[in-house]
Chains A and B, each alone.
Chain A
Amino acid sequence: DGGITQSPKYLFRKEGQNVTLSCEQNLNHDAMYWYRQDPGQGLRLIYYSQIVNDFQKGDIAEGYSVSREKKESFPLTVTSAQKNPTAFYLCASKSPGAGELFFGEGSRLTVL
Chain B
Amino acid sequence: EDKVVQSPLSLVVHEGDTVTLNCSYEVTNFRSLLWYKQEKKAPTFLFMLTSSGIEKKSGRLSSILDKKELFSILNITATQTGDSAVYLCAVVPNTGNQFYFGTGTSLTVIP
Binding site for B on A (CB under 8 A): 31, 33, 35, 40-45, 48, 50, 56, 58, 90, 97-98, 100-106
> Once bound together, how far apart are the Cα atoms of A75 and B2, in whole Å?
27
**A90-B42 in contact (CB<8A):** yes
Binding site for A on B (CB under 8 A): 4, 6, 9, 31-32, 34, 41-45, 48, 50, 88, 90, 92, 96-99, 101-104
* Chain A contact residues, majority secondary structure: strand
What total of A-B pairs shows CB separation below 8 Å?
52
B45 CB contact (under 8 Å) in A35, A48, A90, A100:
A100
**A98-B31 in contact (CB<8A):** yes
Q: Would you give the shortest CB distance from B28 to chain A, in whole angstroms?
A: 15
**B42-A43 in contact (CB<8A):** no
Q: Which of B32, B92, B101, B104 has the most CB of A within 10 A?
A: B101
**B43-A103 in contact (CB<8A):** yes
Contacts of B43 in A (CB 8 A): 43, 90, 101, 103
A40 CB contact (under 8 Å) in B4, B42, B88, B103:
B103
**A42-B103 in contact (CB<8A):** yes
> Once bound together, how far apart are the Cα atoms of A44 and B92, in whole Å?
14
**B98-A98 in contact (CB<8A):** no
